[in-house]
């Protein structure tokens, strides 16, 4: 193996294989490896321009003679080898003479290292397993490789981030995660380690990540290279700052995004939607956004309003804006085979194709194919249709649904994109989807851009992506899972996040149990990055099957406005609209921080209190910015809430006004109308006032 410096890069070369280690921003490194003569040029999430950094690269010659042969008889076989180090600020990569890599911080403390298990007697893990840390195995008959990368496991390590998965645990240590998108699952493969580093698996292939007790292992089913980014920092905030510098930061959130969003499945007509907006204003309720959900269109893939039920979109938008309400329109990436755009998109190669069998991807409410969001031409084509039919009518904000995309079934080995086989690149789909709209809106002169998108991957945030957690169930278990999903997205670099308040599926508006759930979820929503009501709300309205121009029309769920659940519930929900308004200056600053430094809006307690060991174990409460500790009530019938208060300051219960020393668990009152909010002492945010 040859080991040498090439500019600012440390290169390990053997045959056709090359491995590069190079600085990639402050205190950060990028590691790439190929089994081909040329390195694959895809940067995937690492597309931000990096400053020129000159690392400190050193080489050292060492004695590598196996002790077994250090005898007079074998003296003539004495051997030496070369080991190397590359330092970039607070991170150092050390490469053994055989090419094994370990990473250290500026204090000389081991962060992580590759997992090798083979028979070399100089290796402290001298075992005959023949397991290497890096494997690029050729796929027979093709040009792709199957990839595995392995790292040592540490008993003291906790793992946070990785995107959105539907389970309870914030700490991913011990978990096996599918690196794939599904409805309610968003794979964003970046994590922050309690050992003081952050790690991005810069590969959009289908695979798995296993954070086992014996090893950490990453896999990709089809790829051209190994590619990852590692960054070291003295705090989680420093790690997030460096990661988002490399992958891009979210823009500043538009002012309307910080208020209350009203949404349901679905407002069937323009008149119905306007009636809800007018009623909000008649009651004196704050409302910033209202959503025109799916199947308002003539046909999937036409990207236009159905003229019978949406007869005057310009007039609707004008009236909403006069009320201070921003309209949002749903867009799906499904192209019906009967759509006016299907033939043109098919002929230009703008549709996802199948390697075998039928090329239909979804047969719900029509035979449809997903457009290829990895294709720059397809991105532009879809935006131009939406510009022509929505933007020119005043629509500035779009709901980009089905962004995984939601294949039925998820046979990833059968789909093919402009960018390559789905197995190798499908996780970039939501990035391209959001990118097309972001660049289109920017080119049209818009500055305040936001798209509500049902999935994300690393780097999505720089395209003004607000991710929500998909079609989740309406119960307390699901609510608890969304808490860790939102925090995990935040630690993975996606600061704009929301969930369907009350859950999407199964909420009966007349059921007292659901009404309790809705109240608790609504309270929590007021302290999420985006405060948004949504859900299908059962039972669905009974209507005869209806067609317009031979296109099946979708019915709707029950009402989903604050006044839809009874007067008692209304009186419990209403105050939180005003709490959100009173917190708007604070929320605005949190959004500015996210844009400027990559700081998550909602984050685990350890983000702000890393020196408190207990904070690394808290999974049922979080910080909403640096000053507010939020403890959602996630159990039916609860009237009190136990909370751990981080040490280092005193805390004041926003409801009772009682002050507590940090570093202890306390039990506070949490009647049905109250979510426990603890303020750092010295902060006096107007949360629970005399009127509320």
Mind telling me the catalytic residues?
401, 404, 471
Locus of tokens 């590969």:
203
Which residues have C-beta within 8 Å of that of residue 691, sequence separation ≥ 6? 575, 578
Residue 530: both structure tokens together: 């985006």
Can you tell me the distance from the alpha carbon of 253 to that of 394, in angstroms, rounded to the nearest whole number? 19
Residue 578 gets the label, from left (phi > 0), alpha (psi -120 to 50) or beta, of alpha
Question: Under a CB-based contact definition with an 8 Å cutoff, are residues 612 and 663 in contact?
Answer: yes
Q: Is the dihedral of CA 507, 511, 514, 515 positive or negative?
A: positive
Q: What is the DSSP letter of 21?
A: E
DSSP letters along 575-599, please?
HHHHHHHHTHHHHHHHHHHHHHH--
Give the 3-state secondary structure of 323-363.
Answer: CCCEEEEEECCEEECCCCCHHHHHHCCCECEECCCCCCCEC
Give the 3-state secondary structure of 272-332.
Answer: HHHHHHHHHHHCCCCCCEEEECCCCECCCCCCCECCCCCCCHHHHHHHHHHCCCEEEEEEC
Which residues have C-beta within 8 Å of that of residue 510, sequence separation ≥ 6? none
Locus of tokens 């960018």:
419
Can you tell me the distance from the alpha carbon of 247 to that of 381, in angstroms, rounded to the nearest whole number? 26
Gyration radius of the chain over CA positions: 27
Can you list the alpha helix ranges (DSSP code H) found in 84-177?
A: none
Can you tell me the distance from the alpha carbon of 667 to that of 676, in angstroms, rounded to the nearest whole number? 10
Which residues have C-beta within 8 Å of that of residue 486, sequence separation ≥ 6? 164, 469, 497, 498, 499, 528, 529, 602
Q: CB atoms < 10 A from the CB of 240, how many? A: 29
Total residues belonging to the chain: 692
Alpha-carbon separation of residue 609 from 160, 605, 616, 642 (angstroms) = 15, 6, 9, 19
Can you tell me the distance from the alpha carbon of 99 to that of 86, in angstroms, rounded to the nearest whole number? 13
Query: Omega of the bond prior to 266 within 30 degrees of 0, cis?
Result: yes
End-to-end CA distance of the chain: 70
Q: Widest CA span of the chain, in angstroms?
A: 98
Q: Is 602 exposed, middle or buried (0-12, 13-18, 19+ CB in 10 A)?
A: buried
Q: Is the dihedral of CA 92, 96, 98, 103 positive or negative?
A: negative
Q: What torsion do the CA atoms of 280, 284, 288, 294 make, to the nearest 10 degrees?
A: 0
């Amino acid at each position: 193996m040859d080991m040498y410096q090439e500019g600012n890069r440390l290169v390990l070369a053997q045959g056709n294989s090359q491995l590069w280690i190079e600085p990639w921003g402050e205190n950060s490194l990028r590691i790439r490896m190929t089994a081909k003569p040329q390195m694959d040029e895809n940067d995937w999430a690492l597309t931000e321009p990096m400053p020129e950094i000159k690392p400190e690269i050193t080489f050292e010659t060492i004695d590598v003679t196996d002790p077994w042969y250090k005898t007079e008889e074998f003296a003539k076989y004495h051997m030496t080898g070369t080991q190397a180090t590359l330092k970039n600020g607070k991170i150092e990569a050390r490469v053994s003479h055989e090419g094994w890599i370990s990473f250290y911080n500026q204090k000389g403390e081991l962060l992580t290292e590759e997992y090798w298990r083979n028979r070399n007697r100089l290796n402290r893990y001298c075992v005959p397993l023949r397991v290497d840390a890096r494997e690029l195995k050729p796929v027979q008959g093709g040009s792709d490789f199957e990839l595995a990368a392995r790292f040592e496991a540490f008993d003291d390590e906790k793992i946070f981030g990785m995107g959105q998965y539907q389970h309870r645990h914030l700490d991913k240590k011990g978990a096996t995660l599918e690196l794939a998108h599904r409805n309610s699952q968003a794979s964003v493969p970046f994590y922050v380690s309690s050992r003081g580093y952050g790690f991005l698996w810069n590969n959009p292939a289908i695979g798995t990540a296993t954070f086992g007790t014996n090893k950490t292992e990453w896999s990709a089913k089809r790829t051209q290279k190994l590619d990852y980014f590692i960054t070291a920092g003295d705090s989680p905030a420093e790690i997030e700052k460096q990661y988002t510098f490399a992958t891009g930061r979210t823009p500043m959130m538009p002012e309307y995004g910080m208020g209350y969003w009203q949404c349901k499945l679905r407002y069937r007509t323009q008149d119905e939607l306007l009636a809800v907006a007018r009623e909000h204003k008649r009651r004196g309720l704050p409302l910033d956004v209202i959503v025109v959900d799916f199947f308002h269109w003539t046909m999937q893939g036409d990207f236009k309003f159905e003229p019978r039920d949406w007869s005057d979109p310009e007039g609707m938008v004008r009236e909403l804006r006069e009320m201070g309400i921003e309209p949002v329109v749903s867009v799906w990436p499904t192209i019906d085979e009967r759509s006016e755009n299907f033939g043109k998109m098919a002929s230009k190669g703008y549709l996802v194709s199948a390697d075998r069998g039928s090329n239909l991807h979804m047969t719900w409410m029509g035979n449809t194919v997903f457009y290829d969001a990895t294709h720059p031409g397809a991105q532009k084509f879809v935006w131009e249709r939406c510009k022509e039919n929505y933007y020119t009518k005043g629509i500035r904000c779009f709901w980009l649904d089905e962004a995984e995309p939601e294949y039925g079934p998820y046979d990833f080995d059968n789909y093919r994109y402009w960018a390559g086989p789905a197995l190798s690149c499908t996780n970039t789909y939501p990035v391209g989807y959001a990118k097309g709209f972001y660049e289109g809106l920017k080119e049209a002169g818009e500055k305040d851009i936001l798209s509500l998108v049902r999935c994300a991957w690393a780097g999505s945030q720089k395209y003004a992506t607000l991710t929500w957690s998909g079609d989740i169930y309406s119960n307390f278990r699901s609510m608890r899972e969304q808490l860790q999903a939102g925090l995990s997205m935040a630690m993975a670099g996606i600061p704009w996040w929301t969930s369907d308040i009350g859950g999407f599926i199964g909420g009966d508006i007349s059921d007292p149990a659901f009404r309790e759930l809705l109240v608790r979820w609504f309270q929590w929503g007021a302290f999420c990055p985006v405060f948004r009501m949504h859900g299908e709300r059962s039972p669905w309205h009974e209507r005869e099957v209806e067609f317009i121009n031979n296109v099946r029309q979708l019915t709707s769920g029950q009402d989903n406005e604050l006044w839809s659940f009874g007067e008692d519930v209304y009186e419990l929900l209403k105050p939180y609209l005003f709490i959100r308004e009173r917190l708007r200056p604070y929320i605005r600053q949190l959004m500015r921080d996210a844009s400027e430094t990559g700081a998550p809006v909602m984050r685990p307690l350890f983000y702000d209190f890393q020196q408190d060991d207990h904070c690394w174990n808290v999974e049922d409460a979080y910080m909403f910015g640096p000053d507010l500790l939020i403890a959602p009530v996630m159990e039916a019938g609860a009237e009190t809430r136990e909370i751990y208060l981080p040490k280092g300051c005193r805390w004041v219960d926003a409801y009772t006004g009682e002050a507590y020393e940090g570093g202890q668990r306390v039990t506070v009152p949490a009647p049905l109308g109250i979510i426990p909010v603890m303020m750092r002492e010295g902060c006096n945010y107007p949360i629970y006032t005399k009127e509320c």
